[in-house]
A and B are shown apart, each in its own frame.
Chain A
């Protein structure tokens, strides 16, 4: 879990520099203009563009800029003006700013209003002013409730993230649940997909952090995650889902979820932390399922370093060597605990033994239980017998035990190709490919009908489309703040 957080923080620092020369105030004002445009055209993509540029912008965000923008855009009598100003004012060092400037903004649209709230949240967050942020958040929730507009969806999803994040950092998990649940309900009623997805993941994270796996499971079981939510939210959802399922021993489902999470991870460097965390979880789940992850997994340049402890664990499991396993736990225990994966790794002990038995059954047609006992460093012949019997019952090995003579007899290996297994596997892969194909088709954008391209009414629409395309090419898609 800590890695995810580090990813969150690292995010701000790793962002490439765009629009270096533009002053923060003009950049902010142009963002606000885009948000207004998004609200009037009902096209959420403009907001996405603003969010994409938020990374570079937030580093340059100062109290002065914010104050300036607020004063410029908000009329004096706007109900939120004072709260916004007071939230930022105390950080203003350079008082010489021209605070007397006339307000130019005629009316503040709800979208702009909430976006400015979000900026203040981001600012306080980056300043690590947790108590201030928490106080400010109370006001934000009230402000958010006063609006009912579909165009706010994306912004409110982000706002809830910071509300939850602030509480989480201050170690208070429980109090934010109620407002989050209310927000989830409202978003469901109003079909605000993004906010709905965001609050669901936030709640899951909250429960998981509090180790309240049951509640998390209850929630996941009963809410429907919106299908067309943003990619990064979907990735997060599946990551948390994989975690819940892994803890609840549902490994194959967890494996599917973890894979989806990895697949849905945005292909940019900013999401590295998330990818690491998801890959770690996936490796453990695969091990728990009795599979050995491929070595190439650990050789990915972006992941290699963080995966060292997991490589060691995998080795121990692969060799079926209990002593090596114990040693690994000892040396990497701390980092595993930090990843919140220690308890899952502990479960692997059984797997180490099972793998050992499997290797033995593959290598020996017939072996005495005593030898098994020695090879696996077990305490007694009796426990070896139990373990082997259990392994046979679980279907790990195909063998029989001769109790009287005290040996284990491996059965002849079945020809897998005479069973349905290859077919099933093939079917699974085809299904995977098909769903991948369908997902990509759904994610595509289609050009406007060619038949009507020369019509006057569409010229404007086409221009809009072009403009957006250029926006989308500007930088890699990343809204994984």
Chain B
């Protein structure tokens, strides 16, 4: 290129003759890459040429201008002029310039198109659209269909998404591939698309597409039903399935829905199913379906699993009880919670029964918690719940704390399946609402409100809401707090404007801080999952001068954007975390990060790492909770690394938070899957046993002991439903209210809502649980129960402790000592005996397969050792698991059903746990089966037709 200056051409630009000008332009176009710096001085002239409508080569002028701007690094202007240059801009040219401009065009189109979606007045340049669509076509023609779908979704072009899938449907004969595309769209819709309106549109379109297939995938539709919360769709699908006689699939879909959908959706679906005149109401299958939708079988099966496989290490609990003085109410509560969590859902309340003296030490609110703990232990025991709590309910005893606690406990038993008790609880509220200034009645009301809230969670019932409102307006600090919270629970995720308005107004009026706090969290719950539509409320709360309302604002932000990883939400939370004047608000903001980043949990440790070193202990505590919440049940080592220094923090409540978070992360881990777990458990025990430790930290450690071994070591905290990929609303609500234990210990029980049983339960179409075996392609000890704590080692410190005691308390002790020691020894022997008994049923399950495998192929085992070191735990030869036994989430990928067996799953098994409907190849033949808890309790009832009998049973119980 011999030319060193563009001056001659530039001079031509100011000539009169358009011929000369166009000659100058075309020459400049050739040298612009070398001489752009010089040409840039005259860019205004070139732009003027483009503006000149009489000029014939306007496009060329625009192209030159675009190239100059491109070289100047001003890509926006460059894109603008390249769009003006129309045909002069050659899309197929393979230069950096063209590639850059196209990619910028696509970016711009996407952002414009997104704004256009919410604001139709936005105009998009037709050339821009043309480029975008051309590129998409290119993409599809090269076979990158998923890429094209992704971009189309990102630009909110529903029409293109639909078009692509429909064309694929027409062109490719293979329905599988189309289904995989639909699956791709479905999963990206839930994780990527922020706009709710679009999400609903896409999901509706997807349903139409799936239904148009020859063999529609109903399980995919069930995911969409949960996403949309659309009961008419559910009704439609069930009807279709029933009419087609595919009732097994219908049952499986129903079980999935019970697991992941809101109570409101289930209720409404059953309601219209019963009212539908086109359906044969006497149909047996319909009755069964309705039964499944009522949630009763699910609860029954879960509780049976937890009851049969209960593997609690009672020695840990006993030891903590010895070390924490029951006369101190905080320690008493700690043991109550530890016991409640360890036995959550197992129906094993023996600890209470064998420690009646200790139980008697509970006073006031710790009595409330202790009674409510029964509810946690019997959670899901729908058939007996009422009977169990009867002795404590109002009318039976006089203590208002026991009464209140039992009402709350009743709510917990029926959490999320509250039809049978809501009326009863509501009655209690109505009975008492006139006398709420009486202190005793206040406590009962507190329990009743919480109970109604938990039982009627997400029911959206106006009636209950109104009753709660009257309690709230009575302006009593104790009952009002519970009422505010319960209003939120009942209207969970509804975004109801009226409710929000009432709650916010009253929160500003009332003088009681507790009520404000209850309402603030209630508002957060109402806004659950509402994303942008919750913005006005969030703004109002966050800007409010009352720190408690700002605190609620942080939680509202957390729940509204729960699991979305929304950038603006994260940014705002981080800002609050470092700038708010109130410590409480900062703590809440950091904790809230955990909720927002649920799905992106691996990023949380890096995001909060700096905050974990904050000078402010509240921020550090928030960090711990954020990690605990986001990584709950995931066993993420990076999170534990950040938490470890916090467990040795100088401030007691930070240690408390760190212990709790640690246990939430490591729940259900054993030596093999997480080598540090024993060390951590020991550190909990050490903190509990340390005399000099602060009581808050001890409380945290005791709670942690309960959480890490929760539910007889058969439950985990799972915030995302594995079946549907949706968020587990119940678990998230549980965690939200649990984190309020900071102010009010009884709220600790809410964590029980977050526990999910980890098992595979195969059932037949008559809901009977057959005994059969499943293959697990890995080593048996990899996911086994962690060994129980050895008692022999523990005895020594105990003795030292008693020796110290005996010297201080002299004469009395001497007399008692002999007696006490005798008793103790006996007790210990008893405990050990019991443990042996507990162990027996568990052991053979595990050890038998080991023996089997070893005898089968010892040589293979060696090879496996090698392969396991390279991080694959897959083994060719599986070991057998019984139906209804513990399968932890990370174990699922090694599970396979045996082919050609009598029982095969109706749905192709895709690594999901929970209830699996089985097809029985030899239906009608005798069955070796596991009896459920409900069946065990109905021993005297004749067997033949269980549904009608049980239904009538239920009614009786409700009365």
Contacts and interface: CB of A to CB of B under 8 A. Distances in A.
A182 interface: yes
A217 to B, nearest CB: 9
Contacts, number: 49
A451 B73 contact: no
A249 interface: no
A218 B5 CA distance: 11
A224 B33 CA distance: 17
B72 A222 contact: yes
Given A178-B33, A185-B96, A188-B73, A457 B641 contact: yes
Contacts of B36: 181, 222
Contact of A177 (B1, B40, B72, B613): B1
Interface of A is mostly: helix
Contact of B71 (A185, A210, A221, A224): A185
B38 A174 contact: no
Contact of A181 (B34, B41, B73, B613): B34
A174 B2 CA distance: 7
A175 B34 CA distance: 11
A215 B38 CA distance: 7
B1 A452 contact: no
A97 interface: no
Contact of A455 (B2, B613, B641): B641
Contact of A224 (B34, B37, B73, B96): B73
Contacts of B40: 218, 222
Contacts of B37: 215, 218-219, 221-223
Given A181-B34, A189-B96, A189-B100, A174 B73 contact: no
B96 A186 contact: yes
A181 B72 CA distance: 12
Interface in A72-88: none
B216 interface: no
A359 to B, nearest CB: 43
Nearest to A182: B33
Given A189-B100, A224-B73, A174 B1 contact: yes
Contacts of A334: none
A281 to B, nearest CB: 23
Contacts of B4: 174, 177, 210, 212, 215
B540 to A, nearest CB: 38
Considering residues A186, A210, A452, which has the most beta carbons from chain B within 10 angstroms of its beta carbon? A452
A452 B641 contact: yes
Interface centre among B4, B5, B33, B72 (most CB of A within 10 A): B4
B245 interface: no
A118 B72 CA distance: 30
Nearest to B100: A189
B39 to A, nearest CB: 9
Interface string B290-323: 0000000000000000000000000000000000
Secondary structure type dominating chain B contacts: helix
B807 to A, nearest CB: 40
Contacts of B100: 189
A178 B34 contact: yes
Nearest to A188: B73
Nearest to A216: B37
A452 B642 CA distance: 8
B946 interface: no
B841 interface: no
Interface in B41-62: 41
Contacts of B391: none
A183 B15 CA distance: 34
A64 B34 CA distance: 40
A186 B71 CA distance: 10
Contacts of B41: 218
Nearest to B5: A215
A214 B2 CA distance: 17
B38 A451 contact: no
B183 interface: no
A174 B36 CA distance: 15
B613 to A, nearest CB: 6
A449 B33 CA distance: 47
Contacts of B73: 188, 223-224
A405 to B, nearest CB: 51
A222 B69 CA distance: 10
B695 to A, nearest CB: 27
A177 B641 CA distance: 54
Contacts of B2: 174
Interface in A186-229: 186, 188-189, 210, 212, 214-215, 218-219, 221-224
Given A182-B33, A188-B73, A218-B38, A175 B1 contact: yes
Contacts of A175: 1
Interface string B2-14: 1011000000000
Contacts of A221: 37
Contacts of A178: 1, 33-34
Contacts of A174: 1-2, 4
A418 to B, nearest CB: 45
Interface in A221-263: 221-224
A223 B37 CA distance: 8
Looking at A175, A181, A210, A219, which has the most chain B CB atoms within 10 Å of its CB?
A: A181
A182 B41 CA distance: 20
B45 to A, nearest CB: 16
Given A174-B1, A449-B613, 18 more contacts: A175-B1, A177-B34, A178-B1, A181-B36, A182-B33, A189-B96, A210-B4, A212-B4, A214-B38, A215-B4, A215-B37, A219-B37, A221-B37, A222-B71, A222-B72, A223-B73, A451-B645, A452-B645
Interface of B: 1-2, 4-5, 33-34, 36-38, 40-41, 71-73, 96, 100, 613, 641, 645
10 contacts: A178-B1, A182-B33, A185-B71, A185-B96, A189-B96, A212-B4, A214-B38, A218-B38, A219-B37, A222-B71
